[in-house]
């Protein structure tokens, strides 16, 4: 895994050593890329090409964190993937907060006629409004309607691309019911939901068989 700079953004990059899809990874909101090294190393150790983006104002990336800055950086990073990894089908991955970023990016790319090969979501929320309603109800009114930057459920209903969702049944940060709702809303004919009832928010990545099933799901993506 090496570090690259892209117009002030910090990217972690590992080139592909096997045929198949590459992955563009958007992390959660707490911590930085160092805290996700164990997740990113899984892709690298398996030989998959992966690019992980440090959000503006985090992980050494310049700028200030805002939904506008994050989405601008997400599109910039997407465009840079071929130069970083070569030509490969790209699966967009979003963990926690990043699930909203990944879904919105996939939606906007699809609208432009350049959809990703697939979408992987860890602990996706229905919308920021729904997430804040669970975590800090008094702040929820500030994220209604057009003030919600990542209304995942609204975007996912327009995405027919392959979808893989993983969620812990004991997730107290993002209730598993929200992941189920996102999955149900998706019109994809190739979608898979992996829930591990006894696991919490960040532990789902280590859930028995979860990554093996994601790997099988992604094997034939073009």
Q: Per-residue pLDDT tens for 55-86?
A: 999 898 999 989 999 999 999 999 999 999 99
Report long-range pairs for 144-148 (Cβ below 8 Å, ≥24 apart): none
pLDDT for 5 equals 94
Cα–Cα distance measured from residue 201 to residue 213, given in angstroms and rounded to the nearest whole number: 19
pLDDT, mean of residues 18-28: 93
Give domain limits for the chain: 2-218
Burial 14-41 (b: 16+ CB within 10 A, else e): bbbeeebbbbbbbbbeeeebeebeebbe
Task: Identify which of 159, 53, 150 has the alpha carbon closest to the alpha carbon of residue 107.
Answer: 159
Cα–Cα distance measured from residue 184 to residue 188, given in angstroms and rounded to the nearest whole number: 10
* Full-model pTM: 0.95
pLDDT, mean of residues 185-189: 98
Q: Per-residue pLDDT tens for 121-149?
A: 999 999 999 999 999 989 888 888 888 99
The residues with which 118 forms a beta bridge, in sequence order, are 91
Is the per-residue pLDDT at 31 higher than 70?
Answer: no
Superfamily of 2-218 according to CATH: Alpha/Beta hydrolase fold, catalytic domain (3.40.50.1820)
Cα–Cα distance measured from residue 27 to residue 198, given in angstroms and rounded to the nearest whole number: 23
Six-digit token pair at 99? 């699930």
């Amino acid at each position: 895994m090496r570090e690259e700079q892209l117009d002030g953004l910090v990217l972690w990059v590992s080139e592909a050593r096997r045929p198949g899809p590459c992955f563009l990874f958007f992390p959660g909101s707490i911590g930085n890329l160092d805290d996700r090294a164990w997740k990113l190393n899984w892709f690298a150790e398996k030989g998959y090409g992966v690019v992980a983006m440090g959000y503006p104002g985090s992980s050494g990336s310049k700028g200030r964190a805002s939904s506008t800055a994050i989405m601008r950086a997400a599109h910039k990073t997407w465009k840079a993937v071929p130069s970083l990894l070569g030509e490969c089908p790209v699966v967009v991955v979003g963990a926690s907060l990043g699930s909203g970023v990944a879904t919105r990016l996939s939606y906007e790319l699809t609208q432009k006629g350049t959809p990703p090969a697939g979408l992987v979501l860890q602990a996706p929320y229905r919308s920021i409004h729904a997430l804040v309603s669970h975590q800090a109800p008094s702040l929820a009114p500030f994220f209604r309607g057009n003030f919600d930057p990542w209304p995942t459920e609204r975007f996912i209903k327009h995405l027919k691309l392959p979808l893989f969702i993983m969620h812990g049944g004991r997730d107290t940060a993002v209730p598993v019911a929200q992941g189920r709702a996102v999955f149900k809303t998706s019109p994809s004919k190739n979608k898979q939901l992996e829930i591990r009832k006894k696991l919490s928010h960040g532990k789902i990545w280590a859930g028995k068989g979860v990554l093996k099933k994601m790997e099988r799901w992604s094997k034939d993506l073009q």
